[in-house]
Chains A and B, each alone.
Chain A
């Protein structure tokens, strides 16, 4: 079991570009969560998805951010027109059922220059 796979590990984008972060959950896990971590801080919840459904997006910024978890393929966190404040580590977690058994990936570190 390869665990939760995130790619790329590091991503550099210029202001105004788009960033696409991918997350493949553990085998058998159908629940995916995205979190953002600023330096020296804890993780902040962004969005919770199941296959083809967004369950809770209460932590997502209203603009520029979107997430999907299609029937086939990885979950995608998309940030349009990135700004310097988007620079952070973005972690994906998956679980076999709601609210428990989380396993985190190694994260994608986004740097906006």
Chain B
């Protein structure tokens, strides 16, 4: 069935280093992917998204890579800062702009940044 999961449940990095958070998905019909950041006690905050017709998309300090061949998604954070400490979720949908709007979330990776 459909599932979105993460390879690493926790990730600890030194401030200033780059972080890579990975995500695997099993629904080959997925056509839209989103990375969210969730800080303690708060709702998910949009970081970056990517459509299935793209392999890479860059934002400010963040890059998302999509490998449709192996159904793998990653989030790269450059020069990680203490404020980046949070739980990161990938989410996917197989009906972008269609009649269904629900997202399927992975379990999450907790990123801890050491000063």
Which A residues fall within an 8 A CB radius of B? 4, 31, 33, 35, 40-45, 48, 55-56, 58-59, 91, 95, 97-100, 102-107
Q: Which residue of A lies closest to B104 (CB)?
A: A45
Q: Which residue of B lies closest to A109 (CB)?
A: B41
Q: Which residue of A lies closest to B36 (CB)?
A: A104
Contact present for B44 and A43 (CB under 8 Å)? yes
Q: Given the complex of chains A and B, what is the CA–CA distance between A87 and B93 in angstroms?
A: 26
Of B91, B100, B102, B103, most buried by chain A (CB within 10 Å of CB) is B102
Contact present for B89 and A43 (CB under 8 Å)? yes
Contact present for A99 and B44 (CB under 8 Å)? no
Contact present for B97 and A42 (CB under 8 Å)? no
Q: Which of B60-68, B72-80, B105-113 contacts A (4 or more CB under 8 A)?
A: B105-113
Contact present for A99 and B32 (CB under 8 Å)? yes
B45-76 residues at the A interface, CB under 8 angstroms: 45-46
Q: What's the interface size class on B, roughly?
A: 20 to 34
Which B residues fall within an 8 A CB radius of A? 4, 32, 34, 36, 41-46, 89, 91, 93, 95-108
Whole-angstrom distance between the Cβ of A95 and the nearest chain B Cβ: 7
Contact partner of A33 (CB less than 8 A), chosen from B46, B96, B101, is: B101
